Structure 1
Amino acid sequence: MPLIKSISGFRGTIGGRPGENLTPQDIVECTAAFGHWIIKTTGSHKIVVGRDGRVSGEIVSALVVNTLRAMGISVIDLGLSTTPTVEIAVPMEKAGGGIILTASHNPKEWNALKLLNKKGEFISAADGKKVLGYVEQKKMEYAGVDQLGEYTQDDTYLRKHIDKILALPLVDGDAIRARKFRVVVDAVNSTGALAVPPLLEALGCQVIVL
């Protein structure tokens, strides 16, 4: 099964041989390369991390978080989260970037590191090439014991994200509540089940979760 290193991030299947699959060694090397790029380009030592509900998520997250901390980068760990929730958290935390751990529509054996810049946007093609270059060069440096990054868990961002949506001028909450919609939600066993139902309920919908 493949390991795919591209300008959009790193994805592959869990297990197997380093360099051929998304193994712990590959996760550490790719994370360290991104951390090096963040420090070099922004001067920031803070990165936001969030993940989906995959079986491998906790292990991949632990590898990513501890690699960053070993580089002297402090981590804000959102835990189970949606992709856009991590995106809004990056600028709200004034972080140098973010890493979303999700393989989107791919089967359960897959996972991925999707990389965000300081604006909470996916990194550009040019920046992606630089990160890939650091992976190949193994150009990274770890911090001494007195400079290790801090670790903070923050499970409030799904609620913050919902509040931001409800505050958008385009969202007419009163009009939606007046319709009393019934909505069926199939979150495909992942983090949408944590975000979509409370958003709909805040809009007065009757929610049926599969």
Structure 2
Amino acid sequence: MGTRIASISGLRGIIGDGLDPVDVTAFAASYAAEVASRSGKDAPGILVGHDARRSAEMMTAAVLAGLSASGCNAVALGPTATPTLGFLVKERGADGGIQISASHNPAEYNGLKFFRASGSVLGPDEGRAVLDRFERRAFRWAPADRLGTISQDHSLPVSHGLRILGLVDPEAVPRRRFRVVLDAGHGAGGRLAVWMLRQLGCSVRVLGGEPDGRYDHPPEPTEENLGELSAVVPALDADVGFAQDPDADRLAIVDETGRYIGEELTLALAVRRRLAQQPGPVAMNLSTSRVAEEVARGLGGEVVRTPVGEINVVEAMREHDAVIGGEGNGGVIDPRVGWVRDSFVGIALVLDLMAATGKRLSELVDELPSFAMVKAKFPAGPEPIAATLDRIAAAHPEAAADRRDGLRLDWPDAWAHVRASNTEPIVRVIAEARAADRARSLAEALGRLAGGGGPS
């Protein structure tokens, strides 16, 4: 089986080491059968997009084979950002969508992510149903006269960009004539991001703009991977640098000095601008920085915390009529556009914030509440994870405990989130505090309590 991981979230693995076209076709057929069952249609319409990995053509062929052989009518969109796929599924009235991507994983990985007709990713029950069909091979093959059609549409999805342009001040942003450096990471988001930035009157320097998957650096937009962007921004006297991951649902930011702002603060900046436009609730998961929470509360917004997972944030946004939501990985969700983490939305709201305040990005970041975050992983101990979490909670009776997703502990000056990995025998710990030493010591102490000794 190699590295393949099939779960309620979809499929992911290494090409040639567990992830093969046979399973890809079968998983697509399983999803097709579930869509047909839920929609009541014999020939559902499914949109298919992919990020720009070199395995994309092979994966797309396998997915399209599974859909057509199941009687679905498929439209292949070519290199497409994940948020764009979600937007187009809803806009075009499709019955579902499949994004072929391994997100921020290295080039040898690929995978499948499935969408509802509403444009959001599948919920746990739907994902479990698809996985069950895959494991039981409970899908259908259509006869020759009922095979689904396959069509191609590789046009630039400007409708998604136009919707996002409607979020910002149409005069203030172009008036500033921002100089922007975009690191598209040779992924699926570069073409639309450049088009959108130019519509906003920005001059754009693009790094990794060709969607060919030939990564110049590891694709996750972390500080250590964005050294070129951090150097180019001040060298060109640019106002801001934006970095997308390969499927463009995450956004990292570099300020005009070349300082890496990162992904955690993307949501905080977007929340600040959105709540200035329209007050309302904000949803974020339990692992997201308290910076975004304090920004929201400072602007009168109710904050709703959810278990980790994009769909959990989306469901909370729907339930509480949130005006914005997201996760600390640089994923901003704006219901005016869609129900997917969207780097394009993040870009637009940050530029709109800079235009509305007249401030440089570094000034806006320095105005944010200051916290230090530490992320660590520790070898799991021998006892069941539930017992481990009980023991950790008992050791900290002074902290407010949330057990909806692992264990989150809150103190007035800090918080920590302890979760077991679903794929490795490790415990993940995130700790955040106003002082860096406090965050480090808290993460180490909780790691020791988890039974794993030092960080792995």
TM over 0.5: yes
List aligned pairs for 1:22-41, cutoff 5 A: 22-41=19-38
List aligned pairs for 1:42-191, cutoff 5 A: 42-44=39-41, 45-156=44-155, 158-167=157-166, 170-191=167-188
- Contact kept, 8 Å, 1:85 with 1:157, in 2: the verdict is no
| 1:122-148 superposed Cα distances (whole Å, 9 cap, x missing partner) | 100111111111011100111111111
Please name the residue that 2:5 is paired with: 4
The CA distance in 2 between the partners of 1:78 and 1:25, in whole Å, is: 22
The CA distance in 2 between the partners of 1:48 and 1:137, in whole Å, is: 25
User: Is the aligned partner of 1:196 residue 2:197?
Assistant: no
- Following superposition, the deviation at residue 166 of structure 1 comes to 1.4
| Runs of 5+ unmatched residues, structure 2 | 208-456
The CA distance in 2 between the partners of 1:8 and 1:74, in whole Å, is: 23
The one-letter code of the counterpart of 2:88 is: A
Highest CA radius of gyration, 1 or 2?
A: 2
The alignment partner of 2:26 has SS state of helix
- Following superposition, the deviation at residue 81 of structure 1 comes to 0.7
- Contact kept, 8 Å, 1:89 with 1:157, in 2: the verdict is no
- Following superposition, the deviation at residue 150 of structure 1 comes to 1.1
Q: How many residues align?
A: 204
The alignment partner of 2:12 has SS state of strand
Please name the residue that 2:393 is paired with: none
Deviates more, 1:128-137 or 1:200-209: 128-137
| 1:136-184 superposed Cα distances (whole Å, 9 cap, x missing partner) | 11001111111111122122352121111112xx311211000010000
The one-letter code of the counterpart of 1:3 is: R
| 1:14-58 superposed Cα distances (whole Å, 9 cap, x missing partner) | 013xxxx11111101111111110001112411010001000001
TM-score with structure 2 length normalisation? 0.44
The CA distance in 1 between the partners of 2:113 and 2:156, in whole Å, is: 18
Q: Which runs of 4+ in 1 moved over 3 A?
A: none
The CA distance in 2 between the partners of 1:197 and 1:95, in whole Å, is: 27
Please name the residue that 2:262 is paired with: none
Please name the residue that 2:204 is paired with: 207
The one-letter code of the counterpart of 1:26 is: D
The one-letter code of the counterpart of 1:174 is: E
The alignment partner of 1:173 has SS state of coil
- Following superposition, the deviation at residue 77 of structure 1 comes to 1.2
| Runs of 5+ unmatched residues, structure 1 | none
The alignment partner of 1:156 has SS state of coil
The CA distance in 2 between the partners of 1:32 and 1:150, in whole Å, is: 14
The CA distance in 1 between the partners of 2:156 and 2:76, in whole Å, is: 10
- Following superposition, the deviation at residue 70 of structure 1 comes to 0.9
The alignment partner of 1:209 has SS state of strand
The alignment partner of 1:105 has SS state of coil
TM-score with structure 1 length normalisation? 0.94
Distance change >3 Å, CA 94–CA 157, structure 1 → 2: farther
Please name the residue that 2:221 is paired with: none
| 1:94-133 superposed Cα distances (whole Å, 9 cap, x missing partner) | 1111000111110001001000011111100111111111
The CA distance in 1 between the partners of 2:64 and 2:148, in whole Å, is: 9
- Following superposition, the deviation at residue 93 of structure 1 comes to 2.0
The CA distance in 2 between the partners of 1:175 and 1:76, in whole Å, is: 38
The CA distance in 2 between the partners of 1:157 and 1:38, in whole Å, is: 27
The one-letter code of the counterpart of 2:135 is: E
The CA distance in 2 between the partners of 1:29 and 1:65, in whole Å, is: 11
The CA distance in 2 between the partners of 1:63 and 1:75, in whole Å, is: 12
The alignment's C-alpha RMSD in Å is 1.1
The alignment partner of 2:99 has SS state of strand
The one-letter code of the counterpart of 2:46 is: I
The CA distance in 2 between the partners of 1:71 and 1:24, in whole Å, is: 16
Distance change >3 Å, CA 84–CA 198, structure 1 → 2: same
